[in-house]
Amino acid sequence: MSHSGILLILSGSSGVGKSTLCKHIIASIPDVRLSVSYTTRPIRDGETHGVEYWFIDQEEFRRMIAQDAFLEWAEVYGNLYGTPRQELLTQIDKGIDVILDVDVQGARNVMKNMPDAVSVFLLPPSLEVLKARLETRGTDNAEVVEHRFQKAQAEIANYVEYDYTIQNGCLEQAIKEFESIIVAEHVRTKRLDRAWVLRHGLARQESNRVS
Ligand code: 5GP
């Protein structure tokens, strides 16, 4: 049975473990990819252009906005981030599931424009643990860490807008839960391929159903 891929929106504050979770999901489930966003944020040690992000300057980012190249874009912590539209739609058409790691504003825009998308919010086990993770990550100075921690608290309050919530206390459990969501979403009746339904003569039974 052929299906289109699923668009999976994953949000959660910085330091909650989204990248680690995504890496495991991509390694464990075939045909799941992570969308690589464009950003004007400076590249961090250990990051590679085209892997974590496409790192571009403001001028190029604005040019891409004008060309309508983004499915959504937002300013996060003073930098611009955008999800490239075409690559993503091509992958979904090919039956590949695509994970978008976006902030709450980006998630809201995608939920509005792509109603079939499935949204997942990743929660930290506690605020204390989140603060400690942000501090030990060591990629940002104390002021940036404090700013991110304040923003994280405000962001967490938006978890109710998402279809699913995963608490990332134990990584193995979080992976299992995310995998289960993907598996279950694939067998939702609404995703049944119309061509397959018609080929197997199920359309008649559908139309006979009393509504
Ligand atoms: P970081 O710079 O730490 O990798 O990411 C900062 C924040 O930007 C995270 O909350 C991440 O989810 C968000 N982000 C990354 N890419 C995008 C994007 O394409 N669009 C939006 N709206 N947010 C993004």
The Cα–Cα gap between 19 and 139 comes to: 15
Q: How far, in Å, is the centroid of ligand 1 from the Cα of 102?
A: 5
Q: How far, in Å, is the centroid of ligand 1 from the Cα of 181?
A: 22
For residue 53, the ligand 1 atom closest to its alpha carbon is: 16
Q: Based on C-alpha coordinates, what's the Rg of the chain? A: 19
Among candidate residues 28, 18, 181, 182, the one with its CA nearest the CA of residue 95: 182
Amino acid at 76: V
Does 65 map to a domain? yes
Question: Based on the number of CB atoms within 10 Å of its own CB, is 66 exposed (0-12), middle (13-18) or buried (19 or more)?
Answer: exposed
Task: Tell me the pLDDT tens digit for each residue of 59-74.
Answer: 999 999 999 999 999 9
State the DSSP code for 49. B
The Cα–Cα gap between 81 and 103 comes to: 9
Count the domains in the chain.
1
Q: What is the CATH number of the domain that holds 81?
A: 3.40.50.300
Low-confidence winner among 129-133, 146-150, 200-204 (lowest mean pLDDT) = 200-204
Q: Which residues contact 7 (CB under 8 A, 6 or more apart)?
A: 88, 92, 97, 98, 100, 110, 114, 116, 117, 118
Instruction: pLDDT band for 2, please (50, 70, 90 cuts).
Output: low
Does 195 map to a domain? no
Around ligand 1, the residues with Cβ closer than 6 Å are 14, 37, 41, 72, 74, 76, 81-83, 101-103, 105-106
State which residues form the domain around 65: 7-188
Structure token pair of residue 112:
């509005």
Does 193 map to a domain? no
The Cα–Cα gap between 82 and 102 comes to: 9
Task: Tell me the pLDDT tens digit for each residue of 101-115.
Answer: 999 999 999 999 999
Does 172 map to a domain? yes
Does 136 map to a domain? yes
Instruction: pLDDT band for 77, please (50, 70, 90 cuts).
Output: confident
